[in-house]
Amino acid sequence: MTWRQARWDHQSVFELSGGSDHALGAGSVDDLVPNGMTRDRLDLPSAPEFEVVRHFVNLSQMNYCLDNGLYPLGSCTMKFNPKYADRLAAHPKAAQVHPLQDEASMQGSLRIMHELERMLCVIGGVDAMTLQPPSGAQGEFTGMLIAKAYHTLRDDPRDEVIVPDTAHGTNPASAMMAGFKVVEIPSLPDGCVDLDALDAALSDRTAAMMITNPNTLGIFEPRIDLMAEMVQDAGGLMYYDGANLNAIMGYASPGDMGFDIVHFNLHKTFATPHGGGGPGAGPVGVKAPLEPFLPVPRVMLDEGRYRLDYQRPQSIGKVASFYGNFEVLLRAYTYILRQGSNGLRDASSQAVLNSNYLKKRLMEGYELPFKELRKHEFVLSAASFKDRGVRALDVSKRILDFGMHAPTMYFPLIVDEAMMVEPTESASKEELDRYADVLLSILDENASVLATAPSNTAASRIDEVLAAKRPVYSWRMRPDP
C-alpha cells in the first residue's frame, strides 16, 4: 500500500474573497485619531467564514502530526499528547482568567501552579521551582541569570560556562545571551565527557557547567556526580538541561546527581503538545541556596490561601510577562496526576526499551558509533553510505514517502551524517518493526531514488537554496507572478 499525503491546491489566504462574516456596523472614528495617524488602507483578506475554515482545514491535512504515527525526532520527545489534557485546558475557568486578577479570584490557578511546582521538585530532586520560563531555552537563560546573580552577590565575577561538544545548541546560545563566554570540551571515544578536559577547562572563571544526562547520544554519563563535584570544587554551579529527562523518571534524579539548577521541558517529558513549534514551558528548579534568586513572583501558600510574592530582593526579576504558559502548565499537571509515580517510571521504562529495541533492529544495516547501551534515544551514522552517493538527508527524505517522520538529522555534531532517533514510549512493537523495516529497505534502494525523494508528500524536495537566495518572508514580498 502506498501512502500519500493530501495535496490541496494551496492558494494563499490573501487570494480568498467574498467579504467577511464578522463586520459590525461601526462608523468612522477619524474624530478620535490624532491628525496624521489615521490608517488609509488595510490589505487583509476578506472572505466568508466557510472559506477561511476550509482553507485552514486543507492546510492542516498537508501537515504530518504525532496523531498520524511515529515522530521519532531525537531530543524532541514526541510522545502521545493525552486528550483529557485538551479538555481540561479548554475549561473556561482555566482559559478565561486574567493574570492580574485579585488573588482571591484565582485560587484555583494558583493552587495548580503551586502543586505542579512541588511535583516537579520531587521529580527533579530540587528544593524550589519557578514555572515562569515559556520554553526550555528560556529556562536555560533563567538558569544562567541565576548563576550570574549568585556569583555577583558573592562578589566573585565569573565569565565562563562549560558545555560538552554534544550539548544542544540552546545551551551555548543561552549562556551567550546571559553574557558568558562558552568553553566547549570534547567527548571521549565512549561518547562521554572527558574528565581531563573538564579539569583543564575549570578555573576561577568558571561560572557553571551545562549538561544533559543522558547526553544527546542517549548515553548515561556514569561519572556525573564526580563531574558535579569537580565543578563545584572550582566554585561553579552545575546546570541540568532537562531535554532528556524522559529517560530516567523514577530511576534517578538530577538533584541526586549533584545538579544545582535543573530545567524541565514540559512539552517533551510531560506530554504537552508541541503545536508546530510551541508553546512550550521550561520550569526551572534549584537547590535551596539558590532559591532567593528565582524570578518573581513566587507562588506561596499561607494558611490555606495562595498568593503571589514579589518581595524578593535578590530575585533576578522576570523572564516573561506573567507566570509562565499556564495552559501548558495545566496540561502537565494533569499528566503527572494521571501517571503518578508508577506511571512516570513506566513511561521511562517503555521509552528506554523502545529505543534499545529499535536501535538493535537498525544495527542490521546502520552504523552505531560509541557504546551500545542507550537510554531513550540513539544516534546512527549514515557516513558509510557516502561512497555510493547517499547522505543522511536522502535517507531521511525517503522515510517521509512511507508516511513516517524522519529522525533528527545532522545532530549531534560529533557524529558524521548523524540520524538521531527517539521513539518514546508511544510506539508498539509492530510500529517500531514497521519503522525499522522501512529504514532497512531504503538501504537497498538506488541512490537516484533517494536523491529525488520524497514524492508522496504534499511538496516534493524543497529548494532550500532558492529560499536563501530569494528572500520572500511575507505575501507582500512575493515576486511578481
Partner 1 sequence: MSLDRRMLNYLGLESVEDLFADVPEHLRLEQFDLPLGMSEQEVCRHVDAILSLNRSAVDMPCFLGGDCRQHYVPAAVEEIVSRTEFRTAYTPYQPEMSQGMLQALFEYQSLMAELVGLDVVNSSMYDWTTALGEAARMCMRINRRKRFLVPRAMSPQKRSVLNNYVLGTGMTVGEYGYDQITGEVDMDDLVGRMGDDVAGVYVEVPNAFGIIDSRAPELKAMAGEALLVVGVDPLSMAVLRPPGDYGADMVIGEAQWLGSPMNCGGPMLGLFACRERDARRSPGRIIGMTKDSNGRDAYTMALQTREQHIRRDKATSNICSNEALVAVGAAAYLSIMGAEGLTSLARSNMRRTRRLMEMVDAVPGFEAPEFTGQHFDSFVVRCPMRVEKVNRLLLRNGIIGGMHLGPTCPEFDSCMILSVNEVQTDADHENLIELLEGMA
Query: In the range 350-379, which residues lie near partner 1 by CB under 8 A?
Result: 350, 352-354, 356-357, 360-361, 373, 375
Q: Does residue 389 contact residue 451 with C-beta atoms inside 8 Å?
A: yes
What the block records as the C-alpha cell of 374 is: 542507550
Give the x/- contact pattern for partner 1 in 226-265, rule: CB under 8 A: ----------------------x-xxxx--xx--------
CA 278/CA 287 separation, integer angstroms: 28
Q: Which segment (197-205, 320-328, 377-385, 414-422) binds partner 1 by CB under 8 A?
A: 320-328
- Selected binder of partner 1 within 126, 129, 137, 227 (CB under 8 A): 137
Contact with partner 1 (CB under 8 A): which of 151, 267, 287, 298?
A: 267
180: phi then psi, degrees, rounded to nearest 5: -90, 155
Which residues, 391 to 420, sit near partner 1 by CB under 8 A?
A: 396-397, 400, 405-406, 408-409, 411
Which of 168, 79, 83 has its CA nearest to residue 354?
A: 79
- Read off φ and ψ for residue 9, nearest 5 degrees: -65, 100
Angle at alpha carbon of residue 413, lines to 167 and 195, rounded to 5° = 50
Q: Judged by CB under 8 A, which of 130, 135, 212, 215 binds partner 1?
A: 135
**Residue listed under C-alpha cell 529497505:** 441
> Near partner 1 by CB under 8 A, which window of 62-70, 197-205, 285-293, 434-442?
62-70
Element (H, E) at 39: none
Q: How many other C-beta atoms are found inside a 10 Å radius of the C-beta of residue 5?
A: 17
Q: Using CB under 8 A, count the residues that bind partner 1.
A: 197
Applying the rule CB under 8 A, the residues between 21 and 40 that interact with partner 1 are: 21-29, 32-40
Residue span binding partner 1 (CB under 8 A) among the ranges 47-55, 232-240, 380-388, 416-424: 47-55
Chain positions 91 to 120 lying near partner 1, rule: CB under 8 A, are 91-102, 104-109, 111-112, 119
446 binds partner 1 (CB under 8 A): no
Contact indicator for 264, 245 with CB cutoff of 8 Å:
yes
Residues 258, 105 contacting (CB under 8 angstroms): no
Cβ-based neighbours of 43, under 8 Å, separated by 6 or more = 14, 476
H/E element, 223 = none
Q: Which of 278, 300, 389, 446 binds partner 1 (CB under 8 A)?
A: 278
The nearer residue to partner 1, 78 or 286, going by C-beta atoms, is 78
Options 157, 179, 186, 389; binder of partner 1; rule CB under 8 A:
179
Task: Name which position in 143, 191, 280, 285 contacts partner 1 (CB under 8 A).
Answer: 280
Work out how close the CB of 81 gets to partner 1 at its nearest, in angstroms, rounded to a whole number.
5
Asked if 345 is part of the footprint of partner 1 (rule: CB under 8 A), the reply reads yes
Nearer to partner 1, 144 or 234 (CB): 144
How many other C-beta atoms lie within 10 A of the C-beta of residue 222? Answer: 10
- Cis preceding-peptide flag for 295 (omega within 30 of 0): no
Q: Which stretch binds partner 1 (CB under 8 A): 56-64, 201-209, 286-294, 382-390?
A: 56-64
Contact by Cβ (8 Å): 189, 220? no
Report the alpha-carbon distance of residue 190 to residue 210 in Å, rounded. 19
Select 387 or 458, whichever has its Cβ closest to partner 1: 458
Segment near partner 1 (CB under 8 A); pick from 229-237, 323-331, 378-386, 436-444: 323-331
Give the shortest CB-202-to-partner 1 separation in angstroms: 19
Query: Rule CB under 8 A: is residue 14 a binding residue for partner 1?
Result: yes
Residues 6 or more apart whose Cβ sits within 8 Å of residue 148: 178, 179, 180, 207
Backbone region of residue 305 per phi and psi (left: phi > 0; alpha: psi in -120 to 50; beta: other values): beta
The maximal CA–CA distance of the chain, rounded, in angstroms, is: 75
For residue 216 the three cell numbers come to 544527546
387 binds partner 1 (CB under 8 A): no
Three cell numbers at 207? 561560572
Residue among 134 and 197 whose Cβ is closer to partner 1: 134
Q: Per rule CB under 8 A, is residue 62 in the interface with partner 1?
A: yes
In whole angstroms, the minimum distance from the beta carbon of 291 to partner 1 comes to 18
Contact flag: residue 56 with partner 1 (CB under 8 A)? yes
Shortest distance in whole angstroms from residue 24 CB to partner 1: 4
The three-state secondary structure class of 418 is strand
Confirm or reject binding of residue 212 to partner 1 (CB under 8 A). no
According to CB under 8 A, which one of 227, 316, 362, 450 is a site residue for partner 1?
316
